[in-house]
Structure 1
Amino acid sequence: MLDRLAHTLRTVHPDRPAVLRHTRTGATRTAIRRGELADLADAYAAALHARGLGAGATLGVAVRPGPRALAVMLAAHRLGLRAAVLDPTAGPDVLAARLALAAPELVLADAAAQAVAGWAGPLARRAELALPPLATLGPVATLGRRLPGCAPRLQASSAPVPRPGGRSTDADADAVIVFTSGTTARPRAVVHTRDGLAAGLRTVTELVDPRPGSTVLGGTFFVLVPALVAGAAVALPARTPHALARQVTRQAPDQTYLTPPQLRAALGAGARFSGRVWTGSAPADATLLGRVKQAGADQAWGVYALTELFPAAAVEEAAKRAFTGPGDLVGAPLPGVRTALGPDGELLLTGPGARHRYLGEEPDPWVRTGDRAALTPDGRIVLAGRLKDMVLRGAENIYPGLYEPALHLPDVELAVLVGVPRAGAPGDERLVALVQPRPGADPHRLRAALREPLDRMGAARPDAVLFGEVPLAGRSRKPDRAAASAHCARELTA
């Protein structure tokens, strides 16, 4: 599909917008046209080739999502490079450990990501980005505008770039490294092959089926590539809730990809949706999907995906709402995805789009998700919570994911169940529900509405229910259970 994209950008309506940006005034402007994006990818490929990077080399990429990042990925694919995706929000220590593991021959970073002295420092701090000191990164080149204190820019080259052959551009050669959970001392890196990456992109295309000439709202690689191959334009989501609400209302995109926190923020700012809306990377309950449809969307889909396998399953709001059993229905496995359950109930997945291996480890076709799950008679996946999130209360093991969906009432923005250590009883925990009300919700009415779902929890009924904001963490803004537990402990002590 990446080969198709490189071809269609130049040959199919090259003068049409490829990527759109939402301005501060609320207007929409063209960030780059299709033919310009193809030219930019060619220029990056020539510049990297001129620096001696060839098939099999590793390129570090610390560039915010957008046209430049996509052009770099296309250039890397063309040269047969292995792209190590570096998240600038991870912090200097974590990034230094990840760089040591991936050992890239060159790191491309935009000015904001470098977080160095001078003009780039305030810009980076506003964007909450930071890289380790440049001296610890190895060879670095700035992509895009260079600010004082940044590494030298990647020099353009007009030299022709030969298409490499040989082992490094075979279908089973490494294409991309994406870092996932792991400590600073032992970072973990997911390796996808060229064939596996293509399989994931095909699955997204078949699931979403973007239309030529339409507008797609989203900013990730798995949004950009299928949409642009189909001839759609991609609008990058605005950063603030009110700007995002104006954007989805005015642009009326055919397809919208936003994380659950982005959806909640846009809904809170009065967004009106259209077409089909897709969300993932963090839990999305039936109430949130229902609110999206009430705000105008034709369909609202929750997508179950992992860094190791994207996407794995999907479910539309109507099916999710109709499910009355315990746990969180995330849908039927997508074509090619196979499921199994481990002895402890852990969900195992495999398929053409599954990662090949973790960097430095032997290949394993089965992905251990870390999610406890059950399978319905027709094969749909029902999550019962993260294995590591299990709460031990007395002699019972309680998996929050079984019960949290019942707490997501219409007046609830977000809710989690966490364990709080019980004083004087090592290894024992109190089970606490932290409920974040929707803005304007009546707390007395909400507490009364919660009685029924709390009663239905039986032996897993929480010891306490607290109202407050659920802490979020990471780029995907998932609930931070450790921070939520600490917050609940402080509240209960007070």
Structure 2
Amino acid sequence: MNDLVTRFLDTAGERPGEVAVIDPDGRTTTFGELRRLALEVSTGLRAEGLAPGDGVLFAVRNSATAIGVFLGSLRAGAVVISADTAVGPALVSARLRAYRPRWLIAESPFFTTSVVGPVRAFCRRRGWPVPDLRQPIADPGIRTVHIGRRWPGVPRSALALKDLFDRVPAAPAEPDEDAPALVVFTSGTTEQPKGVVHSLRSLTAAVTMLGGHLPFAPGDVMHADGILAGLPALLGGARLSLPKPSAPPKRFAADLADRRVTHAYGVPVHLAEVFGVLPRWPDHVRHLVMGSAPAAPAVLRQALAAVPGGQVRSIYAMTEAIPLAVARAEEKLAHLEQGRPGDLLGTPSPGVTARIAADGELLVSAPNACLGYLGGPPLTELATGDLARLDDEGRIVMTGRKKDMLIRGTYNIYPGLYEPSIALLPGVREAAMVGTPDPVTEDETVVLAVVADSDEADPARLVRRLRRQLPGLIDAEAVPDRIVVLPDLPRSGRSRKLDRGRLRELVTASRP
């Protein structure tokens, strides 16, 4: 077997005394300790009756413990279900209904905030996204494991993580690499959550591909938030540095220096804030990877200035398949500066086959693609929802999102085709186009929202200049009816992607 768990165990066994993970609070865990934790969890869960295919609801914040429990659960044959408690109680409950787990593994505070009424009410008043785990806690058919000391609300029947240790090891069952191994929920209403189902094979392919794009060696330090983002580093014998969730820019910048980071990953919007406090990063940072959301040209320039002489890459990926393509920052900027429309996503990853459907949607098949969606048929080809074309070099160029399409008369407008070029204009830092209903024509009024560069002091002058420049830059049918200047574009989610719904509300409210 050469799956990601086996590969990690082999790598960790070769360097037991070396530091593998630096937790957000600075605590360190060696490869040997992490390997032992994964093996103890695997053996203990099987001894307690976990059967291959059992669902394990996973509510553990990013840490060395989370990585060890995750790997151990996979080795035991579990289907790990990401609770992602930050989404709020309604979605967590809907996800439990979509996939009823047999096990719940959670940190003790999650039990307290779910069960103890005054604590739960206090957290909600403060706006903290606390989970609602009352349903699995109360279900007698669900076994629970708590991590950390026993807090109020932890069921009496719950096992402590340490209760799984020191069990008599048995020969692990041969894993079925094509069976479900991970369920990650993406978007969807509370009634219809959308669960992406990965196999051990697709996860292994994803980690292998990421490692191919960003090679690691012992002595390297990867600063990244997330288990899958960090596993390529660990498999390469490198150290994983976990940032504090939603780390303030100054804290992120300090970690780069204090932890001697060589590789860093971040969301473009958050990285832009870091560049604001640290324009030039320490020389030991050689690789910077951006992902989870598009990067504006201004951020690409800042990234290149922050890591001069290093490599800055932008990853195109989906929850369904990580990664699909990678582009160098220099390539993306050159594409725009040469007047080519769309956002250059890069060359498809090795093994990824891309084609364009009749309606322009990008379709892919790849070894790292998910099995399908929870409750749905197996997928043989993944519909990305992105409109794209392949250039003469076989690179993917995104021209928009199908769901973002605007309609003006008989013309379809795809904002993603124009936004990167508009953001390249002097005085513009970010740009986004949305449509608002026109009660007279029943078409959409096209509104361009821009965020001005810091050196652009007069919004009215910027709007006048854009009105002169846009007709020569974009198709005549796509020239906006209105241009508004905002201090920032609204963002949502952990990746802080553009919230077009909220943007539509803002520009509607600002209508003269």
Q: What are the Cα deviations for residues 366-388 of structure 1, in whole angstroms up to 9, with x where unaligned?
A: 00100111111221111111101
Q: Distance in 2 between matches of 1:380 and 1:350?
A: 15
Match of 2:481 in 1: 463
1:56 shift after superposition: 1.6
Q: How does 1:429-444 map to 2 (within 5 A)?
A: 429-439=444-454, 441-444=456-459
User: Structure 2, unaligned stretches of length 5 or more?
Assistant: none
Contact 1:257/1:279 (CA < 8 Å) preserved in 2? yes
Q: Hey, which bits of structure 1, 4+ residues long, moved more than 6 A?
A: 123-127
Query: In 2, distance between residues paired with 1:249 and 1:307?
Result: 31
Q: Is the 8 A contact 1:119 1:147 kept in 2?
A: no
Deviation string, structure 1 residues 365-414 (Cα, Å, up to 9, x no partner): 10010011111122111111110100112332100000000122365443
> Which amino acid is the alignment partner of residue 341 of structure 1?
I
The alignment covers a number of residue pairs equal to: 484
Alpha-carbon offset, residue 287 of structure 1:
2.9
Judged with a 3 Å threshold, the aligned counterparts in structure 2 of structure 1 residues 344 and 147 are, in CA distance, closer, same or farther, namely same
Q: Which residue of 1 aligns with 2:497?
A: 478
Counterpart amino acid of residue 328 in structure 2: E
The reply to whether residue 421 of structure 1 matches residue 419 of structure 2 is no
**SS at 1:160's partner residue?**
coil
CA RMSD for the aligned pairs? 2.3
State TM-score, norm by structure 2.
0.88
- Letter aligned with residue 321 of structure 1: L
Distance in 2 between the 1:101 and 1:249 partners?
44
**1:294-327 CA deviation, whole Å, 9 max, x = no partner?**
1234121110000111000000011111113111
- In structure 2, the CA distance between the partners of 1:96 and 1:431, relative to structure 1 (3 Å rule), is same
**Does the Cα contact within 8 Å between 1:108 and 1:141 map onto a contact in 2?**
yes
- Secondary structure at 2:451 match in 1: strand
Report if the CA contact (8 A) 1:61-1:108 is conserved: yes
Contact 1:120-1:147 at 8 Å conserved across structures: no
Residue 125 of structure 1: CA displacement?
7.6
- Cα distance change, pair 228–190 in 1 and its aligned pair in 2 (3 A): same
Q: 1:244 to 1:145 in 2, by over 3 A?
A: farther
Match of 1:281 in 2: 292
Measure the CA separation in 2 of the matches of 1:45 and 1:121. 36
Checking the alignment, whether the CA contact within 8 Å between 2:387 and 2:398 is kept in structure 1 is yes
Q: For the residues of structure 2 that align with 1:147 and 1:439, how far apart are their CA atoms?
A: 48
CA distance in 1, matches of 2:223, 2:427: 27
CA distance in 2, matches of 1:271, 1:2: 38
Give the structure 2 partner of residue 2 of structure 1.
5
Task: Name the aligned partner's letter for residue 368 of structure 1.
Answer: A
The reply to whether residue 452 of structure 1 matches residue 473 of structure 2 is no
Q: Which residue of 2 aligns with 1:26?
A: none
CA drift at 1:264? 1.2
Supply the AA of the counterpart residue of 1:375.
L
Per the alignment, do residues 182 and 278 of structure 1 end up closer, same or farther by CA in structure 2, a change over 3 Å counting?
Answer: same
Question: Is the alpha carbon distance of 1:448 and 1:473 closer, same or farther for their aligned partners in structure 2, counting shifts above 3 Å?
Answer: same
Is the aligned partner of 1:65 residue 2:62?
yes
Once residues 439 and 54 of structure 1 are traced to their aligned partners in structure 2, the CA distance between those partners, rounded to angstroms, is: 58
Q: Does the CA contact (< 8 Å) of 1:47 and 1:154 recur in 2?
A: no
Residue 261 (structure 2) aligns with:
253
The one-character-per-residue Cα deviations of 1:14-73 (angstroms, maximum 9, x if unpaired) are 2222112455xxxxx343222111222233223322431121211111222221221121
What is the alpha-carbon distance in structure 2 between the residues aligned to residue 46 and residue 82 of structure 1? 16
Runs of 5+ unmatched residues, structure 1: 24-28
Q: How does 1:20-419 map to 2 (within 5 A)?
A: 20-21=22-23, 29-114=26-111, 115-116=113-114, 117=116, 128-136=128-136, 138=139, 139=142, 140-151=144-155, 152=158, 154-155=160-161, 156-157=163-164, 158-165=166-173, 169-238=175-244, 239-273=247-281, 274-297=285-308, 298-323=310-335, 324-409=339-424, 411-419=427-435
Find the counterpart in structure 2 of residue 492 from structure 1. Answer: 511
1:317–1:481 CA distance, 2 compared to 1 (3 A): same
Which stretch shows the higher mean deviation, 106-115 or 392-401? 106-115
- The one-letter amino acid paired with 2:135 is A
Partner Cα separation in structure 1 for residue 9 and residue 127 of structure 2? 30
CA contact (8 A) 1:119 1:148 kept: no
- Cα distance in 2 for residues equivalent to 1:440 and 1:148: 54
Distance 1:113 1:425 in 2: 51
Please tell me whether the aligned partners of residues 19 and 33 of structure 1 are also in contact (alpha carbons under 8 angstroms). yes
Q: What is the deviation of 1:249? A: 4.2
**In structure 2, C-alpha distance between the alignment counterparts of 1:416 and 1:3, rounded to whole Å:** 45
